[in-house]
Amino acid sequence: MDDRRTPPRKSNTIKTGLISRTFTTAKMSARLGMGATKKLLNVSADNPEKAIEVAAKLVNEFDGMKGLMMKFGQMASYLGTHLPAEARDILATLQASSTAMAFEDVRELIEAELHAPIESCFDQFEETAFAAASIGQVHKAVVNGKPVAVKVQYPEIEKLLSMDLKLVGNLFTVFMAGTSLPGRAMAQELKARLLEECDYDLEARNQMKIRALSENTPGEHVPAVIARLSSRRVLTTEFCSGMNFQDFCSSASPEQKNQAGLTIFTHTMNAIFRHCYFNGDPHPGNYLFQPDGRVTFLDFGCIKKFEPAYINNWKAMAKSILEQRKSDNLKATDAMGLIGRMKAFDHDHHWEMMNHVYTPFTTETPFTFTHEFNSKTTRLMIWENKNKFSGAMPADFLFINRLQWGLAAILADMGATAVFATPFRAAVYADAVPLFEPN
């Protein structure tokens, strides 16, 4: 965790009243689905005053909300890459420094979870959180003379998140009626993955397995878990200082950003194609950058875990593009469940779109991720997609899309340049050996 982040704002109350939360969330769901976030992302890059105004208003709305609404705000913060720097700086506060809960509540929860006074668990414990986000907040402490990070879950957050998800799930079902998209199944997938984030025991097990993989991988670092001081709602790990994403992007050399971008990309592709999982929460607050060039990966609560057969279908689709076999691409796309109505499916458009998306992976010379490249991807996949009504998206693809946009946005913010084709091909042509049981 980064001790140089902007400290969270203090608050004795977080909007957790069930009745007020119901009405507030309903209002925010409608605004988020079709209003605030869309409005922000649609603000013209040449209208900086409007962008700053909308960003500040959005942060103010999200700040006390926590849960799903805060996650929407975080997504807006890293997808709005076309916005002026001042607006993006305002939004970046959602990634690490939202309003924190009072220490009395922190003490009560820790002592209930660890069944001991906080003083007997930790040599020292800082009352002020150094990071606060959607599900919990993080405090610095000391155990056996070593600094640790203690993530503490907000009271009632699981109940509130369930309420948010029910409302948003209803929106999914309504808005996807009449399309080839499985609204109900996607809502269930969203609920399952996000509620897993409330189980810190599960996150600890995820983190320990991923750390074991990363220990011998150059450039990667995953903090160790202190299991005896962890529970379902408290997670204690090795404390990691390091530069946060915004500071790194503004101060690191191009060479440092290129290397870090390649490390993040390689880690992600290996997770998917070699180990059949990926982290479904790719926002910039989950990375720290070390002076020795390593990237520290944080937050392992939202992990999508695939069957090897599904990943092998994905590999077949990737190989069809890498090897330029158009007819095989149609078969692989269908096997992935991405075609709803074959007779109406425009494969020529799909082939053009996928070749654009795969440009970084097929270019054998250094490729630079840019906001312009990402904008064209969005245009081809959403606004100009000729298969809006003939294509399909399985529920499993819900978080894959989140990863797609999140990873590309992060690499574009860094201006990362590398031969991304090398680690991509290596991962795609490797055997798929699952690290986890599928979920």
| Beta pairing class for 295-297 and 287-289 | antiparallel
Evaluate whether residue 206 is within a structural domain. no
Q: At what angle do helices 308-322 and 326-335 cross, to 10 degrees?
A: 160
Element (H, E) at 150: strand 146-153
Confidence grade of residue 52 (pLDDT, cut at 50, 70, 90): low
Residue 138 has pLDDT above 50, yes or no: yes
Percent of the chain at pLDDT exceeding 70:
74
Evaluate whether residue 224 is within a structural domain. no
pTM of the model: 0.82
Residue 336 has pLDDT above 90, yes or no: yes
Torsion-angle region of 38 (φ positive above 0: left; ψ -120 to 50: alpha; else: beta):
alpha
Mean pLDDT of 231-250: 96
Least confident of 135-139, 171-175, 306-310: 171-175
Last residue of a domain, one of 76, 95, 114: 95
* Non-local CB neighbours of 438 within 8 Å, separated by 6+ positions: 276, 305, 306, 307
Residue 296 has pLDDT above 80, yes or no: yes
Evaluate whether residue 259 is within a structural domain. yes
| pLDDT for the residue numbered 42 | 57
| pLDDT for the residue numbered 143 | 99
Q: Which amino acid is at 296?
A: T
Confidence grade of residue 10 (pLDDT, cut at 50, 70, 90): low
| pLDDT for the residue numbered 30 | 44
Least confident of 165-169, 207-211, 265-269: 165-169
Last residue of a domain, one of 75, 95, 115: 95
Residue 280 has pLDDT above 60, yes or no: yes
Evaluate whether residue 194 is within a structural domain. no
Evaluate whether residue 119 is within a structural domain. no
CA distance 117 to 426: 50
Evaluate whether residue 129 is within a structural domain. no
Which residue has better confidence, 267 or 162?
Answer: 267
Residue 74 has pLDDT above 60, yes or no: no
Evaluate whether residue 375 is within a structural domain. yes
* Non-local CB neighbours of 279 within 8 Å, separated by 6+ positions: 268, 271, 286, 297, 299, 300, 302, 303, 403
| pLDDT for the residue numbered 18 | 39
CA distance 264 to 267: 5
Which residue has better confidence, 195 or 323?
Answer: 323
Do you know the residue count of the chain?
Answer: 439
| pLDDT for the residue numbered 397 | 83
Last residue of a domain, one of 95, 116, 145: 95
Residue 240 has pLDDT above 70, yes or no: yes
| pLDDT for the residue numbered 86 | 61
Least confident of 28-42, 120-134, 182-196: 28-42
Least confident of 152-161, 165-174, 222-231, 348-357: 165-174
| pLDDT for the residue numbered 115 | 98
Evaluate whether residue 221 is within a structural domain. no
Domain that holds residue 391: 243-439
Mean pLDDT of 121-139: 92
**Total domains in the fold of the chain:** 2
Mean pLDDT of 303-326: 97
